[in-house]
Every structure is written in structure tokens, then in C-alpha cells.
């Protein structure tokens, strides 16, 4: 199947329904699974990348946190497991690290190659190159039967065509219920980041999935999404912002993000959230300011500071505001009206 669409999230229930209707039953690792092979998706508007489907209830900030975790080169659990504890199911108990973590493979493949810097150099030297490729499958590790997990997205290619940056992702395997809502958002975020380094527009995002599947124990949840969320469109309520920056601005912003995330994740008092907001004042309005305020709001809510989290949320101007507001509401907090504003605006 090939799907060419404006954006992936709006098509999510339709993609799930396709797997339910056309999937074959297989049982890799003795896990009964519905599988469709060779699913191709082209998203012409990668700015619209976040999922907020009510029946899925995805973590509203995990995509940005996990991407930044990748880009830090980390393979330990504290940063990501704070937001989604289920990732600990894939932690190697002997090493207390993730066998298939993307971070070390992106930043220090075979303990020496920074693939992010390599593609930046290639694209900078030859705008028509076909050699800007990132590989995340490592046969020296991933062919070991003892590995707890191996990468699902195994190859990314970047092409500059018509003054726009296109990204092509090959996934050997994709859990369409659990991982898909995060993975597709993360790589489209990275596509936009990379486009900013070269001052390029954003071209299509191409995704090819060898095995698009749903596990049997998730079928009921998937059917609920198909029944209740078909036609749902987050972007009727919010306008996406580009996360692209020049390389120099990106490097400064990246370091600030890690500081804000660390301060708020490890907060022992409300004063830590105020400190983080003061740190954020150093950057101008836009995607990254919204993302960092979203991290402050999420972590305040997680710590039980519901009223504070809601007041902070009122200062967000992009889709993070809707993502968090709806998530807070489902978790028992107050929904924030899109028309409410605070001093943080």
C-alpha cells in the first residue's frame, strides 16, 4: 500500500484500520501479531507531526524528549523512563543500558563516527548528494540473539531537491499502536532541524515500513481508535511551528533544552520550575521556547503542581498547548481554553 497525504497524524486511524482489515497473522518471538508488509507513506507537510488522538492518549512531550535523548548520544534510562516508564521493558538488566539505543549509533557509531556531523558535512559540500545516509542497524551487535532490542528504524537518507530537504526512512519493523505515534513525529522533527542548518524549506517525509503491525493484545485499543478517532485533526485547533534554526542557534538551544529538562525532571520544589522559566527567557519566541515551556508544565503536573502546570501551559502558542491541555484533562486536571493567556505569552 502507498499513501500520499498532507500529514500522517490525520491518517492514523485509517492506517490502523488498513492493518486490521488486510493484515496477516504471524507470531515472531511467539507474539501473535497482525502484519502488513511494504507500507509506504509520503507526508507532504511534515510540520504537522504530533498525535493527540483521544483514544490513544499518547504522552504529549515524549516525542521531543526522546528525539533530544537520541541527539545527546545517551543510552541510559533516567531521561526517557521518567516520561514513559514502559521503555524500561527494553533495558538490558546486565548493562542497565538499551542495546538498540539510537543515540550512540547516531553520535558515535562503532565508537568513532558522528553520523549527524557526517551528513551535515556531506550536504554542505554537495547539495545534490545521494550519500547523506544514517544507518542505525549494527550487524556486530544486532545479529546477537541475546540483544534485548534492536533498532526499528534502520536507515535514514536526506536529499536536497528543489531547495527543500526531503527525508526517507526505512523501518524494518513498526508497532503501529505503541511506537508509531512517537517515531514518526521524532524523525520529522529532526528533518526540520536539519533543514534549518542549511536554510532550506521542508520537503516531503517518506516512510517505508517493511512490517507494519499490531500486537494481538492491542487489537481492542486499536479498534477503539478506528471507531472513535477517525477524522480527528489536531491541526484544526492549532498551527504548527517550524523547529528549524541555524546550526549555531541550534547548538545553543540544544544545550539549554537539556538544562531545562534536567532541572524540571529532578525538581524538588516549585522554585525549580521558576528557575527553568527564567532560563527560557533567554531565547526568542518560537517552537523551542514552546517546547521548553511544555517540559516545565508537564513536569510540574507530574509532580502534583496541577494549578501551576496549567498556568504555565497558558503561555504556549503552538500545538503543545492543545496536546498538554487535553492530556491534563484526561489525567484529572483542568483543560485550558485556546483563548486563555497568561503573563508567559
27 to 215, 219, 327, 331: CA distances (angstroms): 9, 15, 34, 34
What secondary structure letter does DSSP report for 334?
P
15-65 confidence digits (pLDDT tens) = 999 999 999 999 999 999 999 999 999 999 999 999 999 999 999 999 999
For the record, the C-alpha cell of 60 comes out as 504529549
159 to 133, 185, 194, 250: CA distances (angstroms): 9, 19, 11, 21
- Characterize 222-258 residue by residue with b for buried, 16 or more Cβ atoms within 10 angstroms of its Cβ, and e for exposed: bebbbeebeebebbeebebbbbbbeeeebeebeebbe
For the record, the C-alpha cell of 329 comes out as 484533562
**Is the separation of the CB atoms in 280 and 250 below 8 Å?**
no
- Look at residue 31 in the predicted model and tell me its pLDDT: 96
What secondary structure letter does DSSP report for 247?
H
Contacts of 82 (CB under 8 A, 6+ apart): 265
289-304 confidence digits (pLDDT tens) = 999 999 999 999 999 9
237 pLDDT tier (thresholds 50, 70, 90): confident
333 pLDDT tier (thresholds 50, 70, 90): low
- 85, burial (CB in 10 Å: exposed 0-12, middle 13-18, buried 19+): exposed
Amino acid at each position: 500500500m502507498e499513501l500520499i497525504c498532507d500529514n500522517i497524524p490525520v491518517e492514523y486511524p485509517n492506517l490502523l484500520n488498513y492493518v486490521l482489515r488486510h493484515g496477516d497473522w504471524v507470531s515472531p518471538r511467539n507474539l501473535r501479531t497482525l502484519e502488513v508488509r511494504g507500507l509506504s507513506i509520503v507526508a507532504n507537510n511534515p510540520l504537522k507531526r504530533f498525535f493527540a488522538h483521544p483514544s490513544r492518549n499518547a504522552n504529549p512531550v515524549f516525542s521531543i524528549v526522546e528525539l533530544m535523548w537520541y541527539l545527546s548520544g545517551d543510552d541510559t534510562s533516567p531521561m526517557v523512563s521518567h516520561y514513559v516508564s514502559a521503555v524500561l521493558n527494553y533495558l538490558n538488566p546486565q548493562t542497565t543500558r538499551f542495546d538498540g539505543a539510537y543515540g550512540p549509533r547516531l553520535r558515535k557509531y562503532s565508537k568513532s563516527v558522528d553520523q549527524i556531523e557526517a551528513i551535515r558535512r556531506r550536504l554542505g559540500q554537495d547539495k545534490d548528494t545521494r550519500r547523506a545516509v544514517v544507518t542505525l542497524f549494527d550487524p556486530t551487535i544486532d545479529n546477537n540473539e541475546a540483544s534485548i532490542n534492536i533498532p526499528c528504524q534502520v536507515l535514514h537518507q536526506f536529499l536536497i531537491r528543489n531547495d527543500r530537504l526531503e527525508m526517507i526512512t526505512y523501518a524494518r519493523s513498526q508497532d503501529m499502536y505503541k511506537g508509531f505515534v512517537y517515531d514518526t513525529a521524532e524523525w520529522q522533527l529532526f528533518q526540520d532541524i536539519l533543514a534549518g542548518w542549511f536554510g532550506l524549506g521542508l520537503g516531503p517525509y517518506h516512510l517505508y515500513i517493511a512490517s507494519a503491525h499490531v500486537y494481538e493484545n492491542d487489537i481492542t485499543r486499536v479498534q477503539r481508535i478506528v471507531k472513535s478517532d477517525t477524522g480527528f485533526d489536531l491541526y484544526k485547533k492549532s498551527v504548527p511551528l517550524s523547529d528549524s534554526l541555524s546550526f549555531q542557534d541550534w547548538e545553543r538551544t540544544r544545550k539549554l533544552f537539556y538544562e531545562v529538562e534536567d532541572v524540571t525532571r529532578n525538581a524538588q520544589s516549585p522554585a525549580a520550575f521558576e528557575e527553568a522559566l527564567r532560563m527560557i527567557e533567554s531565547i526568542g519566541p518560537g517552537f523551542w521556547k514552546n517546547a521548553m515551556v511544555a517540559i516545565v508544565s508537564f513536569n510540574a503536573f507530574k509532580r502534583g503542581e496541577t494549578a501551576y502546570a496549567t498556568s504555565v501551559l497558558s503561555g504556549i502558542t503552538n500545538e503543545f498547548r492543545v496536546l498538554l491541555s487535553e492530556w491534563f484533562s484526561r489525567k484529572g486536571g483542568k483543560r485550558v481554553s485556546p483563548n486563555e493567556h497568561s503573563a508567559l505569552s
